[in-house]
């Protein structure tokens, strides 16, 4: 769910969550009775869906793979929705506020090519092999060693992510609505345990599609009304330029260019270079996430036939391209529209500034005024406003970049619609948890329990194990949520797990699918050493921040560049290991690779369909749109 970490959470850090908690004294929004009804109806609906689907989740194929009967549309929406969590929405809106439309790279080049590649090139192998999971594919291709490494990595990552997601939701609900942390954690975990435990993957997919619709229904109004207020895109652009010029003396033009200023690290506010965007983000991170992360791939594996499985990511890519409209645009609009209670323009700040200016509940004063003063000195906050913050004046609030989206929602949404917007955020968090827990359950049952603990269980036994693993998974997630609440530093490591694991996995899977010569020892050793190498790079920068310049090859690189370059080096390292070990070891006979490797697999012939149902035709449309958008916003 946190696959593509927002730029404002650079270096994989979600340390901003405790900072939000620390500063906030007054919730951003006050719900009316109507809003509470809207939220309650959502909870009743998702739990009812779980009970309703219980009767259709009796066999392992039904429980873990949703009976493999999803249409392309449902699998496609669920595929894209599994990545559309609330932290992503809030984080990327905050990134757009900070960096402008550069943040859109994570939605376009950071997703679209990989989604098309999954649908058109990789899906046949996943689908034809009838694997239940990504570690399951590794098992078929490389044997138990690679599977076990991948399965344990996935299982640990999924369950810890679910805990972080749970904690993140509780913090956001606390900040936005003033809800008690334990209340939010318990309500959300009971709801998720009920609906996934009862209905399995089918229930998780149903709720992801539901969440997708809710997010658009709840968030689409913000950019529409914001554009009305700024006088359209032209007005927004003009106001941003004026504000940036007066605030920082920098011309705000770079806020509207995705590629033009990426020729050097120093020329753009994000501190990234186009090579990192294209090769690190556009290839390694994006392909790693969208084609090998089991959380998203599981949705497509549930499609009812190969054509639907291939169409699902292509359908998803259209919606993925549209997401910046409800995420990036509100961030840009926040830059010119958000106001302080006194009517002056509100400037959002980094989480470090919010944390430094923590207010003591007892005195109502800033805890450490010298630290707060020093932190604010690095911002463009007006001097008079800084004085008000230091004096603890009630209308002098500090809000972080990540609050841009909720602040914009509060600005435009009245009773009922605000409830819908909040429900969309809750739904995003809950489907994230549900996705993690359902993926954990499948990997635990098929790739750990079945091969390593009990090979001879009946089908109903494995369904029971799956259900129990969901309950245990949710319980462990609650523990993880409280753990990160009391030891914030752990969150950095949990977030890093994903980015450490993904690049080596991508290299191993690509070789597995496209190189007949890749051997079982190469898969196992490549994956294991690649993970160790990637983790070492992470720890190197963690212990010595100056090492970032070496990892990203530039002294001007900012933390965001570390993610993309670390992924790139880890991929190349694993690439070399797999090639060398393969050449030194004996390959499997080609006959054994049928259904697993390109060139050794006879793909099933697909029935001809009219052009408007053909996946290649729609892929061409996506490519044309993708190219046009990048040229327009060059």
Partner 1 sequence: MHGSGIPIWFFIGVLLLVYGGMAFGYGIYEWQTGSYPPLVQLTELHTPVWWGGVLALLGLFYVVKFRPGRAGK
- Please report, as ranges, the residues that interact with partner 1 according to CB under 8 A: 34, 37-38, 41-42, 45, 49, 52, 56, 67, 69-71, 74, 206, 209-210, 213-214, 217, 221, 225, 228-229, 304, 410-417, 420
Rg of the chain taking only CA atoms, in angstroms = 24
The answer for residues whose C-beta is within 8 angstroms of residue 527's C-beta and 6 or more apart is 138, 146, 149, 150, 504, 505, 508, 574
Complex with partner 1: residue 345 or 411, whichever CB lies closer: 411
Least distance from partner 1 to the Cβ atom of residue 468, Å: 25
Least distance from partner 1 to the Cβ atom of residue 590, Å: 36
What backbone torsions phi and psi does residue 333 show, to the nearest 5 degrees? -65, -35
Least distance from partner 1 to the Cβ atom of residue 42, Å: 8
Complex with partner 1: residue 331 or 521, whichever CB lies closer: 331
Q: Which of 562, 619, 582, 626 is CA-nearest to residue 324?
A: 626
Strand partners, 390: none
Complex with partner 1: residue 308 or 525, whichever CB lies closer: 308
Q: Cα–Cα distance between 319 and 314 in angstroms, integer?
A: 9
Least distance from partner 1 to the Cβ atom of residue 79, Å: 14
Least distance from partner 1 to the Cβ atom of residue 483, Å: 35
* DSSP assignment of 407-433: HHHHHH--TTHHHHHHHHHHHHHHHHH
The answer for residues whose C-beta is within 8 angstroms of residue 260's C-beta and 6 or more apart is 254, 634
Complex with partner 1: residue 90 or 205, whichever CB lies closer: 205
What letter would DSSP give residue 592?
A: G
Least distance from partner 1 to the Cβ atom of residue 74, Å: 6
Q: Which of 604, 215, 188, 92 is CA-nearest to residue 434?
A: 188
Q: Which of 55, 154, 93, 623 is CA-nearest to residue 404?
A: 93
Complex with partner 1: residue 221 or 503, whichever CB lies closer: 221
Least distance from partner 1 to the Cβ atom of residue 474, Å: 23
Q: Sign of dihedral through CA atoms 332, 333, 334, 335?
A: positive
Complex with partner 1: residue 145 or 217, whichever CB lies closer: 217
Least distance from partner 1 to the Cβ atom of residue 71, Å: 7
Q: Which of 279, 291, 280 is CA-nearest to residue 114?
A: 291
Least distance from partner 1 to the Cβ atom of residue 225, Å: 5
Q: Residues 480, 159: contact at Cβ < 8 Å?
A: yes
Q: Which of 297, 288, 286 is CA-nearest to residue 123?
A: 297
Complex with partner 1: residue 303 or 398, whichever CB lies closer: 303
Complex with partner 1: residue 218 or 288, whichever CB lies closer: 218
Q: Residues 523, 149: contact at Cβ < 8 Å?
A: no
Q: Cα–Cα distance between 564 and 237 in angstroms, integer?
A: 29
Least distance from partner 1 to the Cβ atom of residue 506, Å: 31
Complex with partner 1: residue 337 or 597, whichever CB lies closer: 337
Q: Residues 91, 8: contact at Cβ < 8 Å?
A: yes
Q: Cα–Cα distance between 336 and 195 in angstroms, integer?
A: 41
Least distance from partner 1 to the Cβ atom of residue 341, Å: 9
Complex with partner 1: residue 18 or 428, whichever CB lies closer: 428
Q: Cα–Cα distance between 65 and 301 in angstroms, integer?
A: 7
Q: Which string of b and e fits 86-98 if b means at least 16 CB within 10 Å?
A: bbbbbbbbbbbbb
The answer for residues whose C-beta is within 8 angstroms of residue 439's C-beta and 6 or more apart is 133, 154, 158, 294, 295, 298
The residue written with tokens 């499985």 in the block is 309
Complex with partner 1: residue 425 or 596, whichever CB lies closer: 425
Complex with partner 1: residue 382 or 416, whichever CB lies closer: 416
Complex with partner 1: residue 68 or 273, whichever CB lies closer: 68
Q: Residues 601, 534: contact at Cβ < 8 Å?
A: no
């Amino acid at each position: 769910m946190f696959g593509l970490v927002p730029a404002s959470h650079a270096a994989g850090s979600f340390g901003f969550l405790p900072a939000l908690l620390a500063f906030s004294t007054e919730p951003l929004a006050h719900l009316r009775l109507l809003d509470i009804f809207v939220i309650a109806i959502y909870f009743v609906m998702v739990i009812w869906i779980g009970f309703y689907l219980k009767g259709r989740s009796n066999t392992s194929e039904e429980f873990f793979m949703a009976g493999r009967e999803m249409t392309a549309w449902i699998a496609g929406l669920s595929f894209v929705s599994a990545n559309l969590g609330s932290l992503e929405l809030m984080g990327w809106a905050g990134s757009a506020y900070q960096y402008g439309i550069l943040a859109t790279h994570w939605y376009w080049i950071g997703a679209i090519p990989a989604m098309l590649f999954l649908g058109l090139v990789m899906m046949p192998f996943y689908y034809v092999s009838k694997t239940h999971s990504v570690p399951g594919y590794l098992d078929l291709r490389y044997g138990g060693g690679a599977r076990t490494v991948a399965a344990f990595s996935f299982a640990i990552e999924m369950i810890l992510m679910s805990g972080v997601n749970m904690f993140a939701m509780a913090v956001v609900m606390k900040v936005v609505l003033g809800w008690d942390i334990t209340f939010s954690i318990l309500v959300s975990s009971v709801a998720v345990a009920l609906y996934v435990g009862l209905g399995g993957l089918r229930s998780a997919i149903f709720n992801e599609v539901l969440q997708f619709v809710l997010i658009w229904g709840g968030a689409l109004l913000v950019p529409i009304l914001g554009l009305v207020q700024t006088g359209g895109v032209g007005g927004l652009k003009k106001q941003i330029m004026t504000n940036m010029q007066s605030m920082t003396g920098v011309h705000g033009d770079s806020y509207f260019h995705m590629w033009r200023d990426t020729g050097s690290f120093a020329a753009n506010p994000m501190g990234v270079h186009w090579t990192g965007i294209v090769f690190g983000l556009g290839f390694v991170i994006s392909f790693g996430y969208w084609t090998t992360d089991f959380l998203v791939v599981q949705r497509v594996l549930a499609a009812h036939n190969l054509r639907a499985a291939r169409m699902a990511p292509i359908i998803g890519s259209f919606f993925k391209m549209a997401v910046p409209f409800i995420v990036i645009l509100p961030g840009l609009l926040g830059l010119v529209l958000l106001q302080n209670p006194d009517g002056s323009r509100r400037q959002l700040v980094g989480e470090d500034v919010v944390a430094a200016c923590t207010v003591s509940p007892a005195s109502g004063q800033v805890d450490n005024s010298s630290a707060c003063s020093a932190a604010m000195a690095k911002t463009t906050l007006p001097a008079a406003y800084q004085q008000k913050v230091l004096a603890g004046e009630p209308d002098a609030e500090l809000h972080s970049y990540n609050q841009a989206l909720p602040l914009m929602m509060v600005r435009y949404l009245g009773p009922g619609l605000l409830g819908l917007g909040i429900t969309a955020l809750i739904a995003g968090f809950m489907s994230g948890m549900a996705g993690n827990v359902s993926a954990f359950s499948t990997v635990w049952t098929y790739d750990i329990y079945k091969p390593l603990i009990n090979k001879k269980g009946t089908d109903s036994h494995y369904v029971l194990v799956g259900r129990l693993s969901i309950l245990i998974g949710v319980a462990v997630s609650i523990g993880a949520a409280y753990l990160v609440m009391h030891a914030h530093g752990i969150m950095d490591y949990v977030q890093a797990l994903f980015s450490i694991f993904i690049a080596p996995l991508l290299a191993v899977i690509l070789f597995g699918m496209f190189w007949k010569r890749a051997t079982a020892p190469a898969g196992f050793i490549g994956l294991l050493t690649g993970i160790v190498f990637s983790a070492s790079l992470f720890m190197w920068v963690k212990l010595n921040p100056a090492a970032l310049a070496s990892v990203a090859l530039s002294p001007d690189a900012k933390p965001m560049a570390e993610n993309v370059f670390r992924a790139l080096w880890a991929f190349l390292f694993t690439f070399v290991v797999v090639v060398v070990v393969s050449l030194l070891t004996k390959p499997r006979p080609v006959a054994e690779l049928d259904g697993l490797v390109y060139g050794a697999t006879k793909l099933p012939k697909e029935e001809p369909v009219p052009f408007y149902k053909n996946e290649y035709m729609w892929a061409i449309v996506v490519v044309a749109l993708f190219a046009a958008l990048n040229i327009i916003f060059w």
